[in-house]
Structure 1
Amino acid sequence: MNEKRYEEGQKVMWLTVFLNIILGIIKIVIGIVYNSNALVADGIHTMSDVLSSIGLIIGFIIAKKPRDLDHQYGHEKAESISALALSLLLIAVGLNICYSSIKQIISISDIVPGNLAIIAALLSIAVKEFQYQISIRVGKKIQSSALIADAWHHRSDALSSIAALIGIVGSKLGYSFLDPLAGIIVSLVVIKTGFDIFKNSYNELMDTSLDTEILSLLIDKISTHKDVRTINDLKARKHGNQYFVDVIIAVDPDISVAMGHKIAVDVENIVYQNINAKYVLVHVNPCCNNENIDCSNCSHIISDLVKEKLKK
């Protein structure tokens, strides 16, 4: 399954690389020929996207590698690192757009770009929005933070092209200030998107847990097992698009080791069936050998979340 999701993600990224090369060349050439500085800058920006996409592809190649002696939990975090790097790139792009727009306000040019520059800007908007749509759809499907980050990068490029279009049309109508004004608005959107992606990828690298709602769902599901007296603890941490889950349960102390193992396997399967877990570790504790005693009062440490859930 992981191999397939990485292949699907790489196909989308290679498609965006090809489209960005073609689109970047078109915008730069038309921008130079028809005197549109905004279009030339937008074209250079598009060509720089090729490097970021190739970086994400490399991240996918590393992430899909099987575990080895040096990385015994796998390489999936390479995907989160790629997303983090792209988020920083988005923030830098946003700041650069803002800086360029402020400079343009200070010194507005009287050069009026040609009509073909408008067509090139419209083409850029259409292609970038197409890249956003396919990237966000596949990114959500395969639960890839890196591909979702790349999708928002494409959306920021579409917004940048809209700003360029406004600037071109504004210059032809005599309202040159519209270009830098639109650029500042776009820069704020890009910077915010970059910070949002940074936060998500940072949390993944910091072993963020599952949402409380999903943890509560797992507690409910595991608690329905007839041989599980109580859940002493349940923890999960994100690893790429998957989770490592640790569960501590209490069972009848008089059952055999084989029976205890069977219960642990049942609990593992419950977790695998409800979340995208890469590895589940179940530890079995002996509980009070009295069905009339509330096992939640056992001496084992019980997490606050489980305590709260057991009270309901």
Structure 2
Amino acid sequence: MNMESEENRFGKKMNPEERGDSTGNRAAESRIDHETQNRIVRKISAVGIAGNILLSLFKLIAGIAGHSGAMLSDAVHSLSDVFATLIAFIGVKLAKKKADVRHPYGHDRFECVASLALGIILAATGIAIGMKAVQQIVLGSYGRLSAPGVIALVAAVVSIVSKEGMYWYTRHYAKILHSEAFMADAWHHRSDAFSSIGSLIGITAARMGFPIMDPVASVIICIFILKVACDIGKGALNNMMDESCG
């Protein structure tokens, strides 16, 4: 298999370090002792879970106080990140288990399973957000919505900055660990940053007298989420099947 020529789930060239393949895993383990790996995994998970819980609560309060459906949708997306990080943590921990009689080739595929689960969570989140937004647009109920408050705008900006920072933080350690699950979790953070950009645009337009743009922003968030979910799921399935990239 020519790993150097394989494209990652986002269409970019991805080297073995970024792929988190089993060969890279073993090479990484030869450079990083087991305790160091565990410490990094715990640190990434703690930062991801704590950060997402705080951000979700802030966006939820901002969405309610600011009368913004887009920000509430964004809060749900951030809340899904908490479960995503938990799944990535469990997947990585299981993948690090040594080979045994029943699993002579090790447990590396648990990372693929974790990534697939992340994709499913993202897809379910996106569909739920999209259905509610489309219903508001079709029924015309957006006309009865109050203009979003300034706090919703502030929450969108805070989300963009913090989630992009969490993306780079998680990506850095995912490359060190050669972890596909944490690399997927990093892109999950970035998808949240993208969705917050959609929220910012929609909230700004709604405040300028175009209330329909708030649910439209939720639809944009839905599209971003579904795109990332499909890419993560496809990448996980390809790695589980050892698909050739020829």
Aligned equivalent of 1:253: none
Give 1:5 shift: 4.5
1:143-292 to 2 correspondences below 5 Å: 143-209=178-244
Please state how far the C-alpha of 1:10 moved relative to its aligned partner.
3.9
| 2:81 is the alignment partner of 1:46 | no
Query: Match for residue 21 of structure 2?
Result: none
1:59: Cα distance to partner? 1.1
Q: Indicate the structure with greater strand content.
A: 1
Whether the aligned pair in 1 keeps the contact of 2:70 and 2:217 (CA below 8 Å) is no
Contact kept? 1:64, 1:76, Cα under 8 Å: yes
Can you give the 5+ residue segments of structure 1 that lack an aligned partner in the other structure?
213-312
The correspondence for 1:80, drawn from 106, 109, 112, is 112
Q: Which residue of 2 aligns with 1:19?
A: 51
Distance of aligned partners of 1:184 and 1:81 in 2 relative to their CA distance in 1, 3 Å threshold:
same
* Residues in 2 aligned to 1:19 and 1:88: alpha-carbon distance in whole angstroms: 22
What stretches of structure 2 of length at least 5 have no aligned partner? 1-27
Q: Residues 33 and 179 (structure 1 numbering): CA distance in 2 closer, same or farther, change over 3 Å? A: closer
SS of the residue aligned with 1:119? Answer: helix
Contact 1:6–1:64 (CA under 8 A) maintained in structure 2 = no
Query: How far off is 1:156 after superposition?
Result: 1.6
Structure 2 distance, partners of 1:118, 1:63, is 41
Alpha-carbon deviation of 1:33?
Answer: 2.7
Does the 8 Å contact 1:118/1:169 carry over to 2? yes
105, 120, 124: which is aligned to 2:155?
A: 120
CA gap of 1:75–1:85, structure 2 versus 1, over 3 A, is: same
Q: How does 1:31-70 map to 2 (within 5 A)?
A: 31-70=63-102
The alignment status of 1:104 with 2:104, answered yes or no, reads no
Percent of matched pairs sharing the same residue: 37
Alignment size in residue pairs: 211
Higher helix share: 2
Q: 2: CA distance between counterparts of 1:98 and 1:25? A: 21
Q: How far is 1:196 from its partner?
A: 1.8
> What's the Cα RMSD here?
2.2
Shift of 1:7: 4.1
Give the TM-score taking structure 2 as reference length: 0.76
Distance 1:115 1:44, change over 3 A: same
CA contact (8 A) 1:105 1:180 kept: yes
